[in-house]
Structure 1
Amino acid sequence: MTHTTPHSTTRRNVLRGTVATAALAATAAVPAGAAHAAPTGSGTGPAIGILLYDGFSLLDPTGPAEVLSRLPDATVTMIAERRGPVRTDTADVALVAERSLDEVDRLDVLLVPGAGNRGTVAAMNNQALLSWIRRIHRHTRWTTSVCTGSIVLAAAGLLDGRQATTYWASAEYLESTFDVTYLPQRYVRSGKLITAAGVSAGIDMALYLASLMAGDDTAKAIQLAVEYDPQPPFDSGNATEADARLKERALQLLAASQV
């Protein structure tokens, strides 16, 4: 399927921001591997690929990776246009892509993270990246996104006529630019596509995906294994309940932290 979009994708109108959460990531050299090989582990579990691109938000790939890597016999691999370190939206941290796009032909699960303005705009205008996403999607069991990763999926034409979620400040853009119905939920399933809301919602989505792939008992056990029992000190994480002042402050903090 070929998809082109006439929509303007400038930093000003694509979105107002996205969240990045600090964590440790390795930046060691990546060993060479066989070309054109999809990530594999024991050969009996799902091959899960997480796409990295410059300016992604750190928790978007790492939160789901923490959950999905606990699935029995699963293999989780970071993938980018080229092997090597890929920087986050703050540029303070990098994750290592162990495979390039050209080395991955098939995946059971594809996950596309979100990013700040710079990263999202670049990704949704990168035709080689969008073409690879469409090609991999044809054979996945599940194609997923976190935060503004749903905008990248929409730019690839995968969300046409579907319901989806995204980062709260990008919801209006998603609906007005693409043929997508936005739902203000932590995650939304539409066929084999599952989109998650902003950043931390990727963990919720990954647990839901784990239940679909391995059953509720396994998903519950993974949740306990990673001790995911959120009890934040403030009840301010729901955009539908936040006032305009707090939203503006949140977006100011994001803009100040991104490069």
Structure 2
Amino acid sequence: MKKLIGIIGLFIIVIACKQTNTNTKNTTEKQPTTTEKEEKAVTKQGYISKPNGTAYTTKELDTMSHDKLMMLMHEPPRDTIKTIGILIYDGYYMLDAMGPMSVLSHMWPTKKMLIGRKKGIITSSDNVKTQVDYSIHDIDQLDILLIPGGVTETYKATKDKELLDWIKKIDQNSKYTMSVCTGAWILGATGVLEGKKATTNWYKAEEKLAQYGAIFQKKRFTNDGKYWTSAGVSAGIDMSLALIDHVMGRNYASFTALNLEYDPAPPFEGGHPDKTDPVITYMTEKMYDLSLEPTIKEEKNNSSKN
């Protein structure tokens, strides 16, 4: 019995020694320096750090003007953006245009314009009327051109030679040419997407882009060089935020998202054919077919007469 107690005691001593060595090893590991602690505190408290490592305290930030704070939040831009134009036409989807406009308006300072085939009232697919002060005849150059989508009137726009010629003219000198949703049909009809990766609204997406020689990407948005294209409607917001990230840096993109409180949390899963009841998807596709059918039929009849 004494022998057994002695063995147990020896075992406890060995374990205690090992624990002591471990604790000693842990206490001898490199501890954060004061500077490192300060850097962590700066990060934790949300101070702005520039790419060169410069950090600003809240006291310093409190003395700065609105414009100075704006300038601090973005890095030297990849491109100088002075003009942003969004082409709208009767039947366009409002969110296709106004979502990106809300985001891209954060590219500051820039001139933002809604442009119509002609000046005056443009009526959206929701029957909302918007006053447009610029026509395609007024604008010869844009740094960013964005084309929203729709259904019937979008299809008609793909056959509008004067409109397509204007888009091609603007594209020659634009820094970024963009489309949202079926706006890619219009952009594709100009020929500029041939051989380019692109995306569009899910409705017959691959088939539609193939008509224009584009390579369909099953993505929320994609870019190929200066051409940025998005999937349907709300995806234009994501694409526009990505463009701000690309041009002006992550700090400024984060500010933009925060200013818009862009934190999507859909109340249910859906919004894409892969996440939607197939019956609902089929019915929606048939509705699009029926919307386009009269226009396509009329076009064929006119062609046969000619």
Tell me the secondary structure at the aligned position of residue 70 of structure 1. Answer: coil
The corresponding residue for 2:273 is: 239
Change (3 A) 1:189 1:77: same
1:45-97 deviation digits (Å, cap 9, x = unpaired): 5200000112111100000000111222122100011111111124x212222
Is 2:202 aligned against 1:168? Answer: yes
Is 2:108 aligned against 1:72? Answer: yes
Equivalent residues in 2 for 1:137-148, closer than 5 Å: 137-148=171-182
- Kept in 1: contact 2:269–2:275 (CA 8 A): no
Deviation at 1:111, TM superposition (A): 0.1
- Matched residue type, 1:81: R
Tell me the secondary structure at the aligned position of residue 198 of structure 1. Answer: coil
- Supply the distance in 1 between the matched residues of 2:196 and 2:82 (Cα, whole angstroms): 26
Which is richer in helix?
2
- Kept in 2: contact 1:89–1:119 (CA 8 A): no
The corresponding residue for 2:121 is: 85
The corresponding residue for 2:134 is: 99
- Matched residue type, 1:216: R
- Kept in 2: contact 1:239–1:247 (CA 8 A): yes
Quick one: which of 136, 143, 151 aligns to 2:185? Answer: 151
- Kept in 2: contact 1:174–1:182 (CA 8 A): no
Deviation at 1:199, TM superposition (A): 0.2
- Supply the distance in 1 between the matched residues of 2:218 and 2:255 (Cα, whole angstroms): 27
- Supply the distance in 1 between the matched residues of 2:155 and 2:221 (Cα, whole angstroms): 22
The corresponding residue for 2:166 is: 132
- Kept in 2: contact 1:187–1:205 (CA 8 A): yes
The corresponding residue for 1:114 is: 149
Tell me the secondary structure at the aligned position of residue 230 of structure 1. Answer: coil
- Supply the distance in 2 between the matched residues of 1:187 and 1:124 (Cα, whole angstroms): 21
- Matched residue type, 2:201: Y
After TM superposition, the score normalised by the length of structure 1 is 0.77
Larger Rg: 2
Deviation at 1:235, TM superposition (A): 0.8
- Matched residue type, 2:178: T
- Supply the distance in 1 between the matched residues of 2:290 and 2:267 (Cα, whole angstroms): 23
Change (3 A) 1:257 1:154: closer
- Structure 2 unpaired stretches of 5+: 1-79, 295-306
The corresponding residue for 1:222 is: 256
Determine which structure has greater relative contact order: mean sequence separation of CA pairs < 8 Å that are 6+ residues apart, divided by chain length.
Answer: 1
Quick one: which of 94, 98, 102 aligns to 1:62? Answer: 98
Q: How many residues align?
A: 214
- Kept in 2: contact 1:79–1:100 (CA 8 A): yes
Deviation at 1:255, TM superposition (A): 7.9
1:151-184 deviation digits (Å, cap 9, x = unpaired): 1111000100111000001313324422111111
- Kept in 2: contact 1:147–1:196 (CA 8 A): yes
- Supply the distance in 1 between the matched residues of 2:244 and 2:120 (Cα, whole angstroms): 28
- Matched residue type, 1:196: S
After TM superposition, the score normalised by the length of structure 2 is 0.66
Deviation at 1:120, TM superposition (A): 1.4
Quick one: which of 86, 89, 95 aligns to 1:50? Answer: 86
- Kept in 1: contact 2:81–2:144 (CA 8 A): no
- Kept in 1: contact 2:147–2:179 (CA 8 A): yes
Is 2:250 aligned against 1:212? Answer: no
- Supply the distance in 2 between the matched residues of 1:176 and 1:187 (Cα, whole angstroms): 17
